[in-house]
Structure 1
Amino acid sequence: MPAARSGPADRTPIPLSVLTGFLGAGKTTLLNRLVADEGMADTALIINEFGEVGIDHLLVETANEDIVEMSSGCLCCTISGDLIRTLEDLVARRDAGEIRHFSRVVIETTGLADPAPVLHTIMNHNYLVYRYRLASVVTVVDAVNGMATLDAHAEAVKQAAMADRLVLTKTDLLGEGGSDGLDALKARLRELNPAAPMLDAARGEAVADRLFDAGLYDPEAKTPDVVRWLAAEAYDGNGHHEHEHEHDHGHDPNRHDEHIRAFCITTDQPIRATSLELFMELLRLQHGNGLLRLKGIVLLEEEPERPVVIHAVQHVFHPPIRLGQWPGDGARLTRLVCITRDVEKSQIEGLLEAFTDRLTDGGAAFRDMTLSLRPGGGR
């Protein structure tokens, strides 16, 4: 294909979204609708196997042995070898003009997949961090079987808890009296993930622009839209979501959900840049396995007018992003939005206080707390 198709190489980080959902949730149907969406015209879609997604009728040209072009303008490819190699190869071919230019990537995971390893890859690989920017995690939830799936499969719980957008499918298949079950499912999802908007696919709400422009990276402004991304207003002061209505969830309270916590920590106490690094390292060491997602904007002592955005998935922290000014109303507050498994708000809050308390030596706090993690308390 002619190199002229790509034009000058664009090194702006490419927004990348992850589309997940448990087996049978309806990802195939959603993808079929999305590839026909005008908002997907400049998107590269990475899926596991072409045979698993019924989009063959939309393929019009083979760019090479593993990349195809669709009539909608999308590119589509399989994961060849591993995800890192696929993403590196995709952007290299775009730069060389071998394939159509794209400005967004969507990765569809398998139904049984824990989304964390994919996010780890995107956030922790030096070259991928330079060329891509995580934009959103979209999780598809079956409205008919969703409650039973959440009861039976821990992976489904993690998929819902880590999402930036929740897409409800098959709501049109709910029978008489189905609204009660749907309300209970929505309430349960709100407990798992208070901040994620819920979109109804059957009503046409799950369109590309609403799914994949979640706010961490705004391709128009070329800056993180932290206000939309954090959505900290979805949490009350006690770390619980305020429901408009009370529902009887109708599920076994001893199945999975009691492990998931969703809360926001806020403080007006600044933290030194070096102490922030120590805080994140200790948080990774002590609670990494249970830190499903952490999003935050941090007030630095050295440069209070320039906050830092942090993002973590389990034990992997994305390189911090320094902003030129405070977003939104400009209030200078550290805000950490946390989705955790078996980690209480007080545990993370206590760590943060240890590094923001002016009477505490952050280095000593790190040393003492790290020693306490060793067998026998390090003594």
Structure 2
Amino acid sequence: MNAGTLRGAIPLTVLTGFLGAGKTTLLNRLLKEPALQRSLVLVNELGEIGIDDHLLAESVDGDVVTLAGGCLCCAVRSDLVDTLADLVMRRDEGSIASFDRVILETTGLADPVPVLHALQAHPLVQMRYVLDGVVTVVDAMTGRRSLAEHEEARRQVAVADRIVLTKTDMDEHGEAGRATRDGIRALAPLVPVLDMARDGASASQLFGVAPWGENVRASNLGEWLGSARSSEVPAGHEGDIRSAVLWSEAQLPPQAFGMFVDLLRAEFGPRILRLKGLVCTTDDPDRPVVIHGVQHIFHPPRRLPAWPDEDRRTRIVLIGKDLDGEAVIRLYEAFADAAAMPSVDPLLAPHLS
């Protein structure tokens, strides 16, 4: 088991979205909820910190301030990993108030992929924090244009676990919102989209998505993967960013699964913006193995207590730049076919002609 999944790991949510989408408005609303009273808010120094003045209370230690409700706020001045390490050390020492959740608000022009990469690549961060999900805010009025013109906006949507659509109440005829939803669907066909004006977008809807906690709810697994229910879910693409969904009834031996992951990141790693899935293995088909990767960095596989529903098929969601989803699917099927042949060692089969 990865150390970052152990009891006491601090859930970290990345809040992203293009310029003017309404991240700070959403964050200000969320911080008023009792469930987020013990949260730490990290903001990029180049972004509009934008925590409303009435939420600021007092300085704790120079660059850390207390927000109304007991939350903390800190600007990321340089390296994100250094900041996270410093904050958890100060938390342990008692020099700042304790926190049990981190919300990282990125700048409007930020590419979230390097952020996710950093969160998974550093041993200390993996030990003390766990990625709880990516929430992307999209402006219904201007979102379609942003997605068409800016790769950062496309990546922000592509890697999301939850998408919050803002300013729909300003869309008199609904045309802009429909166009924006079409753009979102092309990049993230399985990701739930919440209308902030209609649905509210509360903490319970946005946080606690990822299946890393000690007491994983079966519903978390389905929510984390998105609304994937059948192999009929279409692949989508917007510009050079593509998504695909792999479904398979084949079970992989543990050795074959390990080799599949190694070849996947070696062959496709630089093009993978995000990959997540549940894999059925022969040694324990009643409990899926969760797989999660950003580029060539993969979260150590972990056995989960149950499948999210009665469907025990392997399901993997792929999002990548110029990524051939069909090639990834063929790679998995090759290992599955080789594993089904009792006379062929699955570790050797990929090398046999």
Structure 1 unmatched ranges of 5 or more: 1-9, 242-255, 370-379
Question: Contact 2:85–2:125 at 8 Å: present in 1 too?
Answer: yes
Equivalence map 1:301-320=2 (5 Å): 301-320=282-301
**C-alpha distance in 2, partners of 1:201/1:307?**
33
Larger Rg: 1
**What's 1:291 paired with?**
272
Conserved in 1, the CA contact under 8 Å of 2:288 and 2:307? no
Please give the per-residue CA displacement for 1:42-92, whole angstroms capped at 9, x wherever unaligned. 211100138631433311122112211112221111113311111112222
Contact 2:146–2:153, Cα closer than 8 Å, also in 1:
yes
Label 1:352 to 1:236 Cα distance change in 2 as closer, same or farther (>3 A). Answer: closer
* Residues 1:201 and 2:185 are matched in the alignment: no
| RMSD after superposition | 2.4
Q: Is the 8 A contact 2:55 2:67 kept in 1?
A: yes
Q: Which moved more, 1:157-166 or 1:265-274?
A: 265-274
Structure 2: how far apart are the matches of 1:235 and 1:88? 41
Q: How does 1:274-353 map to 2 (within 5 A)?
A: 274-323=255-304, 325-353=305-333
Counterpart in the other structure of 1:363: 347
- The correspondence for 2:33, drawn from 25, 37, 43, is 37
- What is residue 99 of structure 1 aligned with on the other side? 96
Cα pair distance change 1:204/1:271, threshold 3 Å: closer
Aligned residue runs from structure 1 range 1-379, under 5 A: 12-49=8-45, 52-174=49-171, 176-177=172-173, 179-203=174-198, 205-218=200-213, 221=215, 225-233=220-228, 236-237=231-232, 239-240=234-235, 257-323=238-304, 325-357=305-337, 358-359=340-341, 361-367=345-351
**1:299 & 1:222 partners in 2: Cα distance?**
18
The 3 A distance-change label for structure 1 pair 326 and 28 is closer
Aligned with 1:293: secondary structure? strand
One-letter amino acid of the counterpart of residue 332, structure 2: L
The 1:214–1:299 alpha-carbon spacing in structure 2 relative to 1, beyond 3 Å, is: same
1:202-251 CA distance string (max 9 Å, x none):
346122221122243457x257832221235256425348xxxxxxxxxx
Distance 1:331 1:143, change over 3 A: closer
Shift of 1:114: 0.9
Amino acid of the structure 2 residue aligned with 1:97: G
Query: Structure 1 stretch 132-141 or stretch 200-209: which is displaced more?
Result: 200-209
| Unaligned stretches of 5+ residues in structure 2 | 1-5
Does the Cα contact within 8 Å between 2:48 and 2:107 map onto a contact in 1?
Answer: no
Aligned residues: 342
CA 1:223–1:111: 2 relative to 1, 3 Å: same
Q: CA deviation at 1:295?
A: 1.0
TM-score (ref. length: structure 2): 0.88
Bigger mean CA offset, 334-343 vs 110-119: 334-343
- 1:283 deviation in Å? 1.1
Deviation at 1:100, TM superposition (A): 2.1
Per-residue CA distance 1:304-360 (angstroms, 9 max, x = gap): 33321110112211111112x332335432111222332233211110012111236
Does the residue aligned with 2:78 lie in a helix, a strand or coil? coil
Give the Å deviation of 1:25.
1.5
- Give 3-state SS (helix, strand or coil) of 2:261's partner: helix
What is the alpha-carbon distance in structure 2 between the residues aligned to residue 157 and residue 78 of structure 1? 25
How far apart are residue 102 of structure 1 and its match?
1.7
Change (3 A) 1:234 1:21: farther
**Aligned equivalents of 1:303 and 1:227: distance in 2?**
19
Distance in 1 of aligned mates of 2:250 and 2:48? 54
Query: Per-residue deviation at 1:290?
Result: 2.3
Over 3 Å counting, the alpha-carbon distance change for 1:193 and 1:184 in structure 2 is: same
Q: Match of 1:72, as an amino acid?
A: G
Write the letter of the residue equivalent to 2:282: E
For 1:96, give the aligned amino acid: E
